[in-house]
Amino acid sequence: TQLLEQSPQFLSIQEGENLTVYCNSSSVFSSLQWYRQEPGEGPVLLVTVVTGGEVKKLKRLTFQFGDARKDSSLHITAAQPGDTGLYLCAGLDTGRRALTFGSGTRLQVQP
Amino acid sequence: DTGVSQDPRHKITKRGQNVTFRCDPISEHNRLYWYRQTLGQGPEFLTYFQNEAQLEKSRLLSDRFSAERPKGSFSTLEIQRTEQGDSAMYLCASSLAFGGVNTEAFFGQGTRLTVV
């Protein structure tokens, strides 16, 4: 069974601070996706990374896929209260056709 | 088409009752997935369809659970003889798969089930 471990599980920071969320696995993924989920809603896709070493930026969010395609990170610069939510990484293996999710990082940004 | 649609958004049922949820995927998407998410956890895979064929089922999908996608469009997930442990958010997602490529999965807003 493939496992995706996310850390930290919970993060509470002040507005303006920077943070990094990590997603690690012992398995290789063909692609990895990051989602953000608000309470009572479904996950919303933020980005997909496919190539080892790939870096993608979405405004203040920077996503990186590890060279070996086993891990990924999400870095947020100058966090804002609107960034509050559950951040989920999910990997797609070439051998399976459904995403495997991590347990998520709950981020709270205090104004 | 504005995205994946799930109905109902919320369902409260008594233990032992049957419930059915519906998912309408993005219209051109041929793959449809069902996931379950409990509080504080990431979504867990239940099953997926390519067109009308159910291609994979998780061990989480006990014999009380059944999913269908009869015409390759919308899907239903039925839970028979519900138990309190079935209380969770049930999420549906869809994607487009072609030529060995699977595009991103987009999720619906989920159906929150509470078994009392």
The verdict on B38 touching A (C-beta cutoff 8 Å) is no
B48 contacts in chain A (CB < 8 Å):
97-98
Distance CA B43, CA A89 (A): 10
Q: Does position A68 have pLDDT exceeding 80, yes or no?
A: yes
**Cα–Cα distance for residue pair B55/A96, rounded to 1 Å:** 10
Distance from CA of B83 to the nearest CA of A (A): 21
Mean of per-residue pLDDT scores for chain B: 93
Do A98 and B107 lie within an 8 Å CB cutoff?
no
A27-45: average pLDDT: 92
- Binary contact (B108, A44; C-beta < 8 A): no
> Chain A: nearest CA to B27, how far in angstroms?
18
Q: Is the pLDDT of residue A96 over 70?
A: no
Does B90 have pLDDT greater than 90? yes
Encode chain B in three state secondary structure: CCCCEEECCEEEECCCCCEEEEEECCCCCCEEEEEEECCCCCCEEEEEEECCEEEEECCCCCCCEEEECCCCCCEEEEECCCCHHHCEEEEEEEECEECCEECCCEECCCEEEEEC
Count other Cβ atoms within 10 Å, centred on residue A31: 21
Q: Tell me, rounded to whole angstroms, the distance of Cα A2 from its chain centroid.
A: 17
Q: Are A88 and A33 in contact (CB under 8 A)?
A: no
- Kindly report, residue by residue over B102-111, the tens digit of the pLDDT: 778 999 999 9
**Prior bond to B25 cis, omega within 30?**
no
With an 8 Å Cβ cutoff, is A95 touching chain B?
no
CA gap B40, B102 in Å, rounded: 28
Compare all CA atoms of chain B with the CA of A87 and give the residue at the minimum distance.
B42
Tell me the CA end-to-end span of chain B in Å, nearest whole number: 35
pLDDT at A1: 53
Q: Provide the b/e sequence for A70-80 (b: ≥16 CB within 10 Å).
A: bbbbbbbeebe
pLDDT band of residue A95 (cuts 50, 70, 90) is low
Residues of A in contact with B41 (CB under 8 A): 103-104
Cβ-nearest to A98 among B45, B107, B110 = B45
pLDDT digits (tens, 9 = 90+) for B53-65: 999 898 888 899 9
